[in-house]
């Protein structure tokens, strides 16, 4: 069954149309990559799908029902990493993960968080406050925050940014495992190797080819 | 420059910089004279307003009817000086107090130039300004409280000597963070609190404005201590590290940016970010407790355990309520305590603040924004209601105690969740240029609600006024929490 359906989605800022009548569908366990130049609408599309931005026209369906981010059940299914991540400056890395796991009523939050910390390679940074993390570590924390919570659909805006070469390989591996677990992934990327490794379909936005 | 060539002196470098700057000056003389005229006019207008305010306040003090009221107000100037010094010490500790721009750090402090001498001018200027400000404040307070000029001047001089000591302590602690000088800021806070406590306990009830000439012994005794600490601090300037000097400048820049938009909550964000980044590492605690949005309560408890001062501040802020009652403030104690409670509880609202300023964390946590706000407000609510109850015996009616707690919570919530100024909205013309209407509303956020919930208590300081005040607070809280 189709997990996510986007039909006729448009988004304009005044007279400037960023997205016009965009259609896409995504099934559970599959990944769609959004590519395109800067300003082609990748982030805007993800923000519209996540409910962070109001589309000018069109609709977003999750399991065939209009996606409403006010619904707790729908929010539980959709894990989004957009470009607006904010963190509590006075809570440590592990406390952020514990908080998200508890807020989502994870079954065994402590074990889940320990496993994810290991997975993202932040065990040594567990006691650090976010302001002291490197940009790459901060990105790993952002990804970790998605992994400690339940999810059926992942929305990722350039998840590879600030990761080193090894980190990018790890990310591709992680997303493949997410697909195997039945999670649908819609992601924007400028990393051809990541797109090649993970995406089942590629949607190129904007008129000029991706850099 | 060969190894044997002596490094240029700070004076030579300053001369060079002054020369370059003069070469870049494009302002015509006419414009300069006009700016000087505007500055002079501003000083005259505000100065005359200040003098009028002092005279009016002095007349109000003369209207004190009871002995305790007169005694408390006679002690006011000393109290004000101590609170001023405590606040100053805290701000200086946060900012450095000495700071340099990244440019000066990279281009000057990285060279063999004598660092102590380079920083010396900033140290002397700031120290002198702190002395001047403290003296003016003390003198105005003394005149207002009806002190004779003789003792008022002695107090002003004492304040002018204590301010550089505080500044010196801050700069020595900046150079030597583990030295005993680091204790000066908390000691000043405790001293100010003890003084407020003494007033609240009625110790100053019989005090009259001092008239004896021996009060001049106080500044005379302070003078050697002030001179010694200034000389010592001046000698330690060369020990300051670059990283400690630039950090404060970054914070000051962030604060000035936030305050230019009259966004005090953003200024708090900047301070919290700065202190957290500086701390870097904590002893993390696993969050064990309720699931769902109430997990935010556990997170707040973790914060409290890590920084108990967040709850000690509202607890200590109860003391001024009794000092105000002793001064005969009556129903005015209500708005004063609502504002003080709201200020003291700001550090408790870190969770609400971060959840309100962007939607990303709310998205991550899954629950509705109102559920998350409610969860993050549990701890501040408990502390502020306890704070209100702590003021019980200082208020004209017992029901005003929960009204003060709820009012402070409503004002705090308004301050935490308000949107920043909307620069896309309609602009109005001001002497500073075009500014969005919301810019000015932003400056009074929190205070607006504090005023609103206090009005019923001011008009009817009884059960009816308290009930209306609580109802207004509850409705305000409901609206603020439910707002998307």
Residues of B in contact with A146 (CB under 8 A): 364
Out of B282, B295, B357, the one facing A129 most closely (by C-beta) is B282
Out of A89, A126, A145, the one facing B276 most closely (by C-beta) is A89
Does residue A211 have a pLDDT over 50? no
Helix%, strand%, coil% for chain A, nearest 5: 40, 25, 35
Chain B residue with Cα closest to A72: B367
Out of B283, B285, B295, the one facing A103 most closely (by C-beta) is B295
Q: Which residues pair with A79 in a beta bridge?
A: A154
**Domains assigned to chain A:** 2-205 (3.40.50.300)
Give me B446's structure tokens: 């929190």
For testing contact with chain A, the best of B272, B346, B358, B366 (most A CBs within 10 A): B366
pLDDT value of residue B60: 65
Does residue B360 have a pLDDT over 90? no
Cα B340 from Cα B333, distance rounded (Å)? 10
Q: How far is B74 from chain A (nearest CA, A)?
A: 42
Does residue B319 have a pLDDT over 80? yes
CB of A91 closer than 8 Å to CB of B365: no
pLDDT value of residue B63: 66
Q: What integer is the mean pLDDT of B433-440? A: 79
Chain A residue with Cα closest to B352: A88
Cα B454 from Cα B460, distance rounded (Å)? 10
Does residue A47 have a pLDDT over 80? yes
Q: What integer is the mean pLDDT of A43-72? A: 91
Chain B residue with Cα closest to A148: B364
Does residue B50 have a pLDDT over 90? no
pLDDT value of residue B6: 78
Domain range list for chain B: 36-65, 66-255, 262-420+427-482
Q: How far is B395 from chain A (nearest CA, A)?
A: 36
Residues of B in contact with A88 (CB under 8 A): 299, 350-351, 354, 361
Cis, peptide link before residue B97, omega less than 30° from 0: yes
- B306 in contact with A, Cβ within 8 Å: yes
Alpha-carbon dihedral sign for residues B255, B258, B262, B265: negative
Q: State the Cα angle at B138 between B136 and B142, rounded to 5°.
A: 115
| pLDDT tier at A210, thresholds 50, 70, 90 | very low
* Interface predicted TM-score of the whole assembly (ipTM), two decimals: 0.89
DSSP H/E element including B269: helix B264-279
Each residue of A136-189: pLDDT tens digit? 999 999 999 999 999 999 999 999 998 988 899 999 999 999 999 999 999 999
Contact: B277, A131; criterion CB under 8 Å: yes
Q: What is the percentage of chain A residues whose pLDDT exceeds 90?
A: 82
Contact: A128, B281; criterion CB under 8 Å: yes
Give me A35's structure tokens: 């590519």
- A74 in contact with B, Cβ within 8 Å: no
CB of B151 closer than 8 Å to CB of B215: yes
| pLDDT tier at B109, thresholds 50, 70, 90 | confident
Q: How far is A209 from chain B (nearest CA, A)?
A: 30
CB of B275 closer than 8 Å to CB of A83: no
Chain B residue with Cα closest to A88: B354
Out of B272, B295, B350, the one facing A102 most closely (by C-beta) is B295
Q: Which of B273, B239, B263, B291 is nearest to B444 (CA)?
A: B263
Interface contacts (A, B; CB < 8 Å)? 115
Other beta carbons within 10 Å of B50:
12
Cα B402 from Cα B392, distance rounded (Å)? 8
- A124 in contact with B, Cβ within 8 Å: no
Q: What does each C-alpha distance from B104 to B24, B120, B175 come to in angstroms?
A: 19, 14, 18
User: Which residue is associated with the tokens 């366990």?
Assistant: A29
Cα B262 from Cα B5, distance rounded (Å)? 50
Q: Kindly report the backbone phi and psi dihedral angles of residue B67, in degrees, each rounded to the nearest multiple of 5, phi listed first.
A: -65, -45
| pLDDT tier at B65, thresholds 50, 70, 90 | low
Residues of A in contact with B361 (CB under 8 A): 86-88
DSSP H/E element including A203: strand A201-205
Contact: B284, A69; criterion CB under 8 Å: no
Helix (H, G, I), strand (E, B), or coil: what is residue A202? strand
Q: Which residues pair with B1 in a beta bridge?
A: none
Does residue B370 have a pLDDT over 70? yes
- A126 in contact with B, Cβ within 8 Å: yes
Q: What does each C-alpha distance from B369 to B375, B420, B462, B480 come to in angstroms?
A: 10, 18, 36, 11
User: HEC states along B288-326?
Assistant: CCCCHHHHHHHHHHHHHHHCCHHHHHHHHCCHHHHHHHH
The 8 Å CB, 24+ separation contacts for B424-433 are none
Q: How far is CA B136 from the centre of its chain?
A: 18
Start-to-end C-alpha separation, chain B: 63
Chain B residue with Cα closest to A145: B364
Q: How far is CA A73 from the centre of its chain?
A: 18
Q: At what angle do helices A93-103 and A135-147 cross, to 10 degrees?
A: 20
pLDDT value of residue B473: 97
Q: What does each C-alpha distance from B14 to B19, B100, B117, B121, B249 come to in angstroms?
A: 8, 14, 11, 11, 19
* Dihedral class, residue B7 (left if φ above 0, else alpha if ψ from -120 to 50, else beta): beta
Lowest mean pLDDT among B3-17, B51-65, B429-443: B51-65
Cα B481 from Cα A160, distance rounded (Å)? 36
User: Which residue is associated with the tokens 């993970």?
Assistant: A198
User: Could you tell me which residue, A146 or A75, shows the higher pLDDT?
Assistant: A146
pLDDT value of residue B1: 52
Other beta carbons within 10 Å of B414:
21
Q: How far is A71 from chain B (nearest CA, A)?
A: 8
For A168, half-sphere exposure in the C-beta direction (CA atoms, 13 angstrom radius) is 16
pLDDT value of residue A209: 45
By residue count, chain A amounts to 211
Q: What integer is the mean pLDDT of B252-257? A: 91
Cα A205 from Cα B147, distance rounded (Å)? 76
For testing contact with chain B, the best of A70, A91, A116, A153 (most B CBs within 10 A): A91
Determine how β-strand A2-13 pairs with β-strand A16-27: antiparallel
Q: What integer is the mean pLDDT of B406-432? A: 86
Out of A85, A91, A129, the one facing B299 most closely (by C-beta) is A91
CB of B352 closer than 8 Å to CB of B232: no
Each residue of A19-41: pLDDT tens digit? 999 999 999 999 999 999 998 99
Contact: B280, A89; criterion CB under 8 Å: no
Cα A27 from Cα A39, distance rounded (Å)? 27
Cα B237 from Cα B232, distance rounded (Å)? 9
Average pLDDT in chain B: 90
Q: Which residues pair with A154 in a beta bridge?
A: A79, A185
Residues of A in contact with B290 (CB under 8 A): 102
Q: What integer is the mean pLDDT of B321-336? A: 90
Out of B273, B299, B307, the one facing A99 most closely (by C-beta) is B299
pLDDT value of residue B9: 85
Cα B197 from Cα B207, distance rounded (Å)? 15
Each residue of B144-176: pLDDT tens digit? 888 999 999 999 999 999 999 999 999 999 999
Q: Which of A28, A49, A44, A144 is nearest to A93 (CA)?
A: A144
Q: Kindly report the backbone phi and psi dihedral angles of residue A116, in degrees, each rounded to the nearest multiple of 5, phi listed first.
A: -70, -40
């Amino acid at each position: 069954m189709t997990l996510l359906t986007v039909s006729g989605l448009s988004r304009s800022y005044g007279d400037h149309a960023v997205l016009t009548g965009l259609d896409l569908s995504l099934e559970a366990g599959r990944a769609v990559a959004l590519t395109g130049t800067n300003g082609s609408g990748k982030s805007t599309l993800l923000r519209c799908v996540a409910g962070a931005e109001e589309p000018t026209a069109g609709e977003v369906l999750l399991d065939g029902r209009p996606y409403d981010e006010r619904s707790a059940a729908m929010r539980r299914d959709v894990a989004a990493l957009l470009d607006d991540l904010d963190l509590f400056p006075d809570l440590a890395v592990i406390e952020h993960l514990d908080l998200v796991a508890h807020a989502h009523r994870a079954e065994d939050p402590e074990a889940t968080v320990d496993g994810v910390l290991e997975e993202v390679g932040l065990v040594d940074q567990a006691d650090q406050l976010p302001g002291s993390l490197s940009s790459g570590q901060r990105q790993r924390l952002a990804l970790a925050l998605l992994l400690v919570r339940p999810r059926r659909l992942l929305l990722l805006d350039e998840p590879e940014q600030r990761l080193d070469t090894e980190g990018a390989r790890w990310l591709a591996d992680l997303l493949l495992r997410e697909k195997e677990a039945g999670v649908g992934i819609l992601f924007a990327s400028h990393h051809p190797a990541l797109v090649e490794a993970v995406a089942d379909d590629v949607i190129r936005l904007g008129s000029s080819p991706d850099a | 420059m060969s190894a044997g060539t002596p490094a240029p002196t700070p004076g030579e470098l300053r001369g060079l910089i002054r020369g370059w700057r003069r070469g870049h000056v494009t302002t015509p003389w006419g414009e300069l004279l006009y700016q000087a005229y505007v500055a002079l006019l501003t000083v005259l207008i505000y100065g005359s307003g200040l003098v009028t305010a002092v005279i009016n306040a002095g007349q109000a003090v003369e209207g004190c009817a009871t002995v305790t009221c007169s005694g408390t107000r006679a002690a006011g100037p000393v109290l004000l000086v101590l609170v001023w010094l405590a606040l100053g010490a805290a701000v200086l500790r946060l900012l450095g107090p000495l700071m340099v721009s990244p440019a000066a750090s990279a281009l000057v402090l990285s060279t063999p130039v004598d660092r102590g001498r380079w920083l010396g001018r900033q140290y002397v200027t700031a120290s002198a300004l702190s002395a001047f400000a403290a003296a003016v404040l003390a003198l105005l307070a003394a005149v207002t409280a009806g002190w004779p000029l003789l003792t008022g001047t002695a107090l002003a001089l004492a304040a002018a000597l204590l301010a550089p000591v505080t500044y010196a302590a801050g700069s020595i602690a900046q150079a030597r963070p583990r030295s005993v000088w680091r204790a000066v800021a908390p000691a000043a806070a405790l001293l100010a609190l003890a003084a407020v406590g003494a007033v609240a306990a009625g110790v100053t009830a019989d005090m009259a404005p001092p008239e004896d000439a021996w009060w001049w012994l106080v500044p005379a005794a302070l003078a050697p201590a002030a001179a010694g600490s200034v000389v010592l601090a001046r000698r330690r300037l060369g020990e300051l590290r670059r990283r400690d000097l630039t950090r404060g400048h970054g914070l000051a820049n962030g604060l000035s940016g936030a305050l230019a938009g009259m966004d005090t909550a953003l200024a708090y964000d900047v301070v919290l970010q700065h202190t957290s980044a500086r701390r870097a590492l904590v002893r993390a605690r696993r969050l064990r407790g309720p699931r769902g949005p109430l997990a935010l309560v556990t997170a707040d408890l973790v914060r409290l355990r890590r920084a108990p001062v967040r709850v000690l501040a509202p607890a200590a802020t109860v003391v001024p309520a009794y000092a105000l009652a002793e001064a005969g403030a009556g129903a005015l104690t209500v708005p004063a305590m609502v504002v003080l409670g709201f200020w003291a509880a700001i550090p408790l609202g870190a969770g609400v603040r971060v959840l309100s300023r962007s939607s990303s964390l709310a998205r991550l946590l899954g629950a509705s924004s109102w559920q998350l706000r409610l969860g993050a407000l549990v701890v501040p609510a408990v502390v502020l209601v306890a704070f209100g109850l702590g003021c019980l015996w200082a208020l004209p009616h017992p029901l005003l105690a929960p009204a003060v707690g709820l009012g402070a919570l409503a004002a705090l919530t308004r301050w935490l969740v308000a949107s920043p100024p909307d620069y896309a909205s309609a602009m109005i013309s001001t002497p500073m240029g075009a500014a969005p209407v919301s810019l000015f509303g932003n400056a009074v956020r929190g205070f607006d609600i504090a005023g609103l919930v206090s009005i019923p208590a001011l008009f009817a300081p009884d059960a009816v006024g308290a009930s209306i005040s609580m109802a207004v607070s509850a409705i305000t809280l409901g609206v603020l929490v439910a707002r998307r």
